[in-house]
Amino acid sequence: MTNIIDIRDECQSQNLRRVLEDSLLSQQPSIPPLLLWDEQGMELFSKMTEKGSTNSYGSSAEMEVLSAHVDDISKICDDGGILIDLGAGSLHKSSFVVKHLAARNGRVQFYALDISPEYLQKSLDSCTPQMQQLGVQSVGLAGTFKDLISWLYSNGHTFTKPVTYLWLGNSMANLSIGEVATTLQQLIIGLPSRIRGSTKFILGLDACNDHKEIIESYTSKPTELWALNALKHANSLIGTQVFRLDEWEYQGEYDDSTRCFTASFVARRDVEMRLRGKMHRFTAGQPLKLAHSYKWNRGDLESLLESTNLEITNCWKHTTPYCEHFPLEYLSPNILPG
Ligand SMILES: C[S@@+](CC[C@H](N)C(=O)[O-])C[C@H]1O[C@@H](n2cnc3c(N)ncnc32)[C@H](O)[C@@H]1O
């Protein structure tokens, strides 16, 4: 079994419950997107993004870009370096890169970060034997991006080799521009100063701007089932059935001007729920925002990076127009952060 280090704080049940109740009781009620990613949510997500499924446009395109450019990608990661996968999921993509890297460069230390320790264990165990044969040392980190940053501040000093972060699957675009810029900076600053300047990021961004394709993919039945699992997760955190699934309708909207897809639940009728000992009413038609996903293009990424010390060093795109919207951007620091 692969070693999993539990670094959870932000996504620990009691913290998640508090944030959930705060979010439901706020002026613009919402469900924290972290609720999407328990073990069951991960299983549903993995199924819906499998090759050939309705939601696979992004995943397949990104995998094809990785396959086509894995040699160049491997050259970036220094000999015997450290690879950290931010939101590893099924590890389908990152394990492909890690294996290639190990076959080419020898020893690799691989850290897979994700929220559900159970799902992380399963994903790592399924690919560890093959990775071990290639000289990969794998460790799972169960926690969020914020938890990783805190962990790096206390444990990053043990790193002696340059770090390459993989941030694939358009996951960074579920955060806001400001959050991404801060996260990128903190992921560098958390490392010891002697290796900070060699830090690299490989980002998989979905720059699709086809309204119809986005809506079809993000409002398909499998996506709806995955989203509804967040309500089940909310019930289990609160310890009672505050959400009856038939009272909420899943809705998705894509705003072409902001290039942002927003997923929400809308109350089908007036709904009452007991939160923190009091009854609260959600009126029919009231939305509960669940998550968003930006479709950033090159220009968006450049402006996002203005407040950081990072610059785009390379970009790999698919050769067919259909997949062109899933470029992998490679970032490296242009100035050593202090
Ligand atoms: C869109 S999936 C991408 C999975 C995988 N990287 C891929 O490309 O197939 C997003 C992944 O990020 C994880 N995730 C979401 N929010 C996170 C957070 N705040 N901290 C750490 N992981 C997070 C999810 O659990 C999920 O595995």
pLDDT digits (tens, 9 = 90+) for 54-100: 555 667 788 888 999 999 888 887 667 899 999 999 999 999 999 99
Q: What pLDDT score does 338 carry?
A: 42
d(CA 208, CA 80): 35
- Is position 5 within any domain? no
Q: What pLDDT score does 329 carry?
A: 79
Q: Are residues 85 and 60 in the same domain?
A: yes
- Is position 229 within any domain? yes
Note whether 169 and 62 are within 8 A (CB).
yes
From 251, 250, 331, 262, select the one nearest 295 (Cα to Cα).
Answer: 262
Q: Give the confidence band of 336 by pLDDT, cuts at 50, 70, 90.
A: very low
Average pLDDT over residues 232-247: 98
Output the CA torsion 83→15→37→302 (10° steps): -50
Triad 161, 167, 169: Cα angle to 5°: 150
Sign of CA dihedral 131, 133, 137, 142: positive
Q: Which of 35-39, 45-49, 159-163 has maximum average pLDDT? A: 35-39
Q: Are residues 215 and 84 in the same domain?
A: no
Q: What pLDDT score does 181 carry?
A: 95
Q: Are residues 178 and 318 in the same domain?
A: yes
Which atom of ligand 1 is found nearest the CA of 85?
6
- State the helix-helix crossing angle for 57-76 and 211-218, rounded to 10 degrees: 100
- Is position 1 within any domain? no
Q: Give the confidence band of 292 by pLDDT, cuts at 50, 70, 90.
A: very high
Distance between Cα 86 and ligand 1 center (Å): 7
Candidate of 7, 92, 96, 115 to mutate for ligand 1, largest count of ligand atoms within 8 Å of Cβ: 115
Q: Are residues 137 and 253 in the same domain?
A: no
CA-nearest residue for atom 17, ligand 1, is 144
Domain that holds residue 171: 55-209+296-333
- Is position 244 within any domain? yes
Q: Is the CB of 169 under 6 A from ligand 1?
A: yes
pLDDT over 50 (residue 310): yes
Average pLDDT over residues 46-58: 71
Which atom of ligand 1 is found nearest the CA of 170?
1
Range with the lowest mean pLDDT among 57-71, 222-236, 281-295? 57-71
Q: How many domains does the chain have?
A: 2
Rounded mean pLDDT of the chain?
Answer: 91
Q: What is the CATH number of the domain that holds 144?
A: 3.40.50.150
pLDDT over 80 (residue 318): no
Q: Are residues 30 and 92 in the same domain?
A: no
- Is position 4 within any domain? no
Q: Are residues 194 and 222 in the same domain?
A: no
From 297, 301, 295, 321, select the one nearest 313 (Cα to Cα).
Answer: 301
Q: Are residues 249 and 126 in the same domain?
A: no
Q: Are residues 155 and 241 in the same domain?
A: no
What does DSSP assign to residue 326? -
Q: Are residues 249 and 322 in the same domain?
A: no
- Is position 2 within any domain? no
- Is position 316 within any domain? yes
Both tokens of residue 257?
A: 């001007």
Q: Are residues 81 and 32 in the same domain?
A: no
Which pTM was predicted? Answer: 0.95
Both tokens of residue 290?
A: 């669940």
Q: What pLDDT score does 297 carry?
A: 87
Q: Are residues 39 and 159 in the same domain?
A: no
Note whether 255 and 247 are within 8 A (CB).
no
Max CA-CA distance within the chain?
A: 60
- Is position 21 within any domain? yes
Q: How far is CA 50 from the centre of its chain?
A: 16
d(CA 45, CA 333): 33
Q: Are residues 66 and 142 in the same domain?
A: yes
Sign of CA dihedral 261, 24, 234, 124: positive
pLDDT digits (tens, 9 = 90+) for 129-185: 899 999 999 999 999 999 999 999 999 899 999 999 999 999 999 999 999 999 999
Q: Is the CB of 165 under 6 A from ligand 1?
A: no
CA-nearest residue for atom 11, ligand 1, is 87
| Size (the chain), residues | 338
Distances (CA, A) of 169 to 46, 92, 308: 12, 11, 22
